[in-house]
């Protein structure tokens, strides 16, 4: 038995997901294990370059939770105004 660089972990996957991973790994010329590890590592990194693709409601929800609901109070009108503003900026 050879040396392992990591901890072995058996993982059950739905067949469809396994097929997607196998296809991705083949396209990227790496093993399925390497593809899974890369995807998991990537999921733990904070990415801010794609914020414009996140719905405003989700962003506001995160902000509200971070600041504490008592610290920040937005009216429904302010949220609606922010949504309209966001939609307009996405159209341009």
Per-residue confidence at 49, pLDDT binned at 50, 70, 90? low
User: How many domains are contained in the chain?
Assistant: 2
Does one domain contain both 68 and 84? yes
Q: Which domain holds residue 23?
A: 15-44
Does one domain contain both 61 and 39? no
Instruction: Please report whether residue 8 resides in a domain.
Output: no
| C-alpha distance from residue 82 to each of 15, 21, 41, 87 (Å) | 42, 38, 33, 9
pLDDT of 83 strictly over 70: yes
The phi and psi torsions of 61 (rounded to 5 degrees) equal: -60, -45
Per-residue confidence at 82, pLDDT binned at 50, 70, 90? confident
Instruction: Please report whether residue 3 resides in a domain.
Output: no
Instruction: Please report whether residue 10 resides in a domain.
Output: no
What pLDDT was estimated at residue 3? 58
The phi and psi torsions of 43 (rounded to 5 degrees) equal: -70, -20
Does one domain contain both 33 and 57? no
What pLDDT was estimated at residue 1? 44
Q: Which of 25, 44, 63 represents a domain boundary (last residue)?
A: 44
Per-residue confidence at 62, pLDDT binned at 50, 70, 90? confident
Q: How far apart are alpha carbons 13 and 36 in whole angstroms?
A: 11
């Amino acid at each position: 038995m050879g040396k392992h660089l990591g901890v072995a972990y058996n993982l059950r996957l739905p067949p469809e997901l396994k097929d997607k991973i196998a296809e991705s790994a083949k396209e990227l010329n790496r093993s399925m294990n390497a593809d899974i590890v890369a995807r998991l590592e990537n999921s733990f990194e904070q990415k801010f370059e794609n914020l414009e693709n996140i719905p405003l409601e989700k962003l506001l929800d995160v902000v509200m939770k971070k600041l504490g609901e008592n610290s920040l109070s937005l009216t429904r009108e302010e949220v609606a105004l922010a949504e309209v503003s966001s939609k307009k900026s996405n159209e341009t």
